[in-house]
Amino acid sequence: MIYILSIAFTVAFVYYSKWQFINGRAGKWHNYGMTMRVLAIFTPFIQQLVPSSWQDYLLAGTINILLWELLINKIALGVDWLHIGTTSELDIKLGKKKWLIYTAPIIIALIIKIISN
């Protein structure tokens, strides 16, 4: 369940950012901000009904680090999924290595999840 909730939060956050870039003070981003707050409030209650292990939290977190980058590129900025920005200090420093840096923790978390079950 943590995977669904954290991915839903990340998607809402991407759309929130997209529309905040476009609309400034007014606009659709308010709806996505409300979605994020609702998810933040209800997620702990849902987690009580469907508990997750620390391995699930680790894997969900690492998935969402990469998911944020991919979705912000495609949805908010309208560029290719694997776009390397020219204004982000992190993109400038890491270049294409950033995709390895974002993917490696998912692989490690997945291995931890598999061997601990």
Mean pLDDT of the residues in the chain: 91
The pLDDT of residue 108 = 98
Q: pLDDT, tens digit, for every residue of 47-61?
A: 899 899 999 999 999
Helix (H) or strand (E) holding 79: none
DSSP 95: T
Q: pLDDT, tens digit, for every residue of 29-49?
A: 888 889 999 998 898 888 899
Cα separation values, 88 from 21, 62, 83, 92, Å: 16, 21, 11, 6
pLDDT at residue 25 tops 90: no
Apex 104 CA angle, 54 and 95, nearest 5 = 135
